[in-house]
A and B are shown apart, each in its own frame.
Chain A
Amino acid sequence: MDFLKDPLKVAADWLLGIFASWGMPEIAAQILLGFLGILLLITLLMVLDIFLVWVERKVVSRFQDRIGPNRVGPFGLIQPFADIIKLLIKEDITPGGADRVVYNLAPILSMMSVLILWAVIPLAPTILGVDADLNIGALYIIAAGAIGTLSIIMAGWSSNNKYSLIGAFREVAVMLSFEIPMLTVMLIPTIFAGSMGIVTIINKQDTWFFFLAPLAAMIFFIAAIAELGRAPFDMGEAESELVSGYNVEYSGMKFGMFYAGELLHAFTFGGFWAILFFGGYRFFGLELVNPLLAIAILFFKAFIGYWLIMWVRYTLLRIRIDHMLAFNWKFLTPVAFVLLMVTALMNALLADLPGWLYISGMFLSNVLLTWGALEIARHYSRGEREKVEGAKQVVEVHH
């Protein structure tokens, strides 16, 4: 029973006992245990990544009305392994004139920026992240994204290829621009929870923050898709425009790291969407029963978020780069700022009211703000259309 209640603590104590019996000093045993924990987490994440490749290909095929991989193993489950073996035995080509160190470092940094995100994700009430609640956890997410941005520009420049460079510039411009609304909207769960620590945000979600701030969840979703560099914001690897953009010169496992890193990044952001707005591993007290059940709940919610991200990807067309940036700076950022101010104001005004009044007041303010923003966008787009087509006139009949 004790093992089932808290398997990680039992395993950790057992290992510490073994290390002590070998005569290791206490501090070295702790450090070694930490490293083993990191190794276990990364191994599980990479196994999950392999599974995500299969999920991605099956889902995209169903959206496109075909079956997808079904030859290799039951339902094509062995397909990702075949993909990985292919990538591993491919010849490793470095383009001439490429900057070797930077060229090889870019996919490593890209994968690293995704894996370090999992340091702050609490998987269960007993399996918390770093420091039992890093008090700047929400900001840490943006910091890890910054390292990912750096890796893309390193990849684009070091490939010694014009198209890579253009793809990298566009991708980095989009990623930097969409960090602003994401950061602003991430402050809204911070306001509700009173702290930036992820565990505190989860613990304060007796009502999911999605019901308190649905517009914030939507803006976070859009900004997250842009951060990930996925369609409809995938200027960096526009297959039909830029010959696969910043990763065109990468072959073999280096490309595999970019690709797998992107899928894991998408899943991680599905997880963050679930944590910040949908209660993380909480589900009406079910998570206290068993930490493995809590992990299952978190992964279930993360998969729903990931499925939504995939749905958006395989439905919408790619947006032009100047439209993308105009959408961010002229619509998303002002709406995010106004939403932050309105949320802070309503939080202060309604703080003393009973529960359901607070929730409905917040929800209503969000709905009103969405309606107002969409009205303004509609008038603006009508003005733009009239400039192009001429004002709507009554049809004249020519005899």
Chain B
Amino acid sequence: MTGEQITFLAVALFTLGSGFMVVTSGNLVHAALWLVSTLFGVAVTYAVLDASFLAVVQVVVYIGAIAILFIFAVMLTRKDMRDQGPQMNKNWWFGAALAVLTFVGLFFLLQGWSGMSTTATALPSGFDAVAGLGDALTSPAGYVLPFEVASVLLVAALVGAVYVAFNRK
């Protein structure tokens, strides 16, 4: 067990445990806070994968904006501060069975693929992932068009969200 493997196992167990608490927690605000810890675990996974920009953007965008949006939405859609009634609907066993089936199916699908046991090659020295990402996102030979379309999508979502949630007196 090398240090990397121990680190990965710790982070993965933490993230999966938090994810499980997200979907089974009775108190919805607690579920949103467990989501924060799950997202943090995913950010640490990115850092382990040497995708440092993704890790920081994950914290800024997901934890700093999306998770807070969830907490606001949870607080704004209830009459009193306590949760009422069961949080699982009456077919939850079917959902659980489907989820387990999905996982087992994916597992067996991946077992048949030969590339499963590749290990990571070392990064070339002086390799700056952030600069490479910047080049890829803004060069015409790279992905500038999807990048610009994504920003148009965000503007559309912004306008749509404001319009839908606007409180007309």
* A and B pair up: yes
A136 touches B64 (CB 8 A): no
A143 touches B64 (CB 8 A): yes
Chain B residues with CB below 8 A from A146, complex form: 59-60, 63-65
Chain B residues with CB below 8 A from A154, complex form: 33
Instruction: Give, as a whole number of angstroms, the nearest-CB distance from B134 to chain A.
Output: 10
- By beta carbon, the residue of chain A nearest B129 is A135
Total of A-B residue pairs, C-beta within 8 Å: 65
B63 touches A136 (CB 8 A): no
How far is it, in angstroms, between the C-alpha of A179 and the C-alpha of B59 when the chains are bound?
13
What 0/1 readout, one digit per residue, does chain B (35-73) give for beta carbons within 8 Å of chain A? Answer: 010000000000000001100110110011101100110
Given A136-B52, A172-B68, A143:B59 Cβ within 8 A: yes
B75 touches A149 (CB 8 A): no
How far is it, in angstroms, between the C-alpha of A153 and the C-alpha of B67 when the chains are bound?
11
A176 touches B68 (CB 8 A): yes
Chain B residues with CB below 8 A from A145, complex form: 64
B52 touches A27 (CB 8 A): no
Chain B residues with CB below 8 A from A160, complex form: 81
Chain A interface size range: 20 to 34
Chain A residues with CB below 8 A from B29, complex form: 99, 102, 157
Q: Does B13 contact A (CB under 8 A)?
A: no
A143 touches B130 (CB 8 A): no
Given A135-B130, A136-B52, A149:B64 Cβ within 8 A: yes
Q: Does A150 contact B (CB under 8 A)?
A: yes
B75 touches A150 (CB 8 A): no
Q: Does A117 contact B (CB under 8 A)?
A: no
Chain A residues with CB below 8 A from B75, complex form: 157, 165
A176 touches B56 (CB 8 A): no
Within 169-195 of A, Cβ neighbours of B (below 8 Å) are at 169, 172, 176, 179, 183, 195
B3 touches A27 (CB 8 A): yes
Within 115-132 of B, Cβ neighbours of A (below 8 Å) are at 128-131
B67 touches A150 (CB 8 A): yes
Q: Does A82 contact B (CB under 8 A)?
A: no
Give the interface SS of chain A, mostly helix, strand, loop or mixed.
helix
- By beta carbon, the residue of chain A nearest B81 is A160
How far is it, in angstroms, between the C-alpha of A285 and the C-alpha of B5 when the chains are bound?
44
Chain A residues with CB below 8 A from B27, complex form: 99
Most A CB atoms within 10 A — which of B57, B64, B81, B131?
B64
What 0/1 readout, one digit per residue, does chain B (1-41) give for beta carbons within 8 Å of chain A? Answer: 00100000000000000000000000101100100100000
Instruction: Give, as a whole number of angstroms, the nearest-CB distance from B135 to chain A.
Output: 13
B64 touches A176 (CB 8 A): yes
Chain B residues with CB below 8 A from A147, complex form: 59, 63-64
B52 touches A150 (CB 8 A): no
- By beta carbon, the residue of chain A nearest B67 is A150
Q: Does A218 contact B (CB under 8 A)?
A: no
How far is it, in angstroms, between the C-alpha of A176 and the C-alpha of B130 when the chains are bound?
25
Q: Does A134 contact B (CB under 8 A)?
A: yes
Q: Which of B53, B60, B130 contacts A142 (CB 8 A)?
A: B60
Given A147-B59, A150-B36, A160-B81, A176:B65 Cβ within 8 A: yes
Q: Does A298 contact B (CB under 8 A)?
A: no
- By beta carbon, the residue of chain A nearest B76 is A169
Within 328-359 of A, Cβ neighbours of B (below 8 Å) are at none
Instruction: Give, as a whole number of angstroms, the nearest-CB distance from B4 to chain A.
Output: 12
Instruction: Give, as a whole number of angstroms, the nearest-CB distance from A174 to chain B.
Output: 13
Chain B residues with CB below 8 A from A149, complex form: 64, 68
- By beta carbon, the residue of chain B nearest A152 is B68
- By beta carbon, the residue of chain B nearest A153 is B71
**10 CB < 8 A contacts A-B:** A102-B33, A136-B53, A139-B53, A139-B56, A143-B56, A143-B64, A146-B63, A146-B64, A150-B67, A176-B65
Q: A147-B64, A157-B71 are in contact. List 13 more A-B contacts (CB 8 A).
A: A135-B52, A135-B129, A136-B56, A139-B56, A145-B64, A153-B68, A154-B33, A157-B81, A160-B81, A169-B72, A179-B64, A183-B60, A196-B130
Residues of chain A whose beta carbon lies under 8 Å from any beta carbon of chain B: 27, 99, 102, 134-136, 139-140, 142-143, 145-147, 149-150, 153-154, 157, 160, 165, 169, 172, 176, 179, 183, 195-196
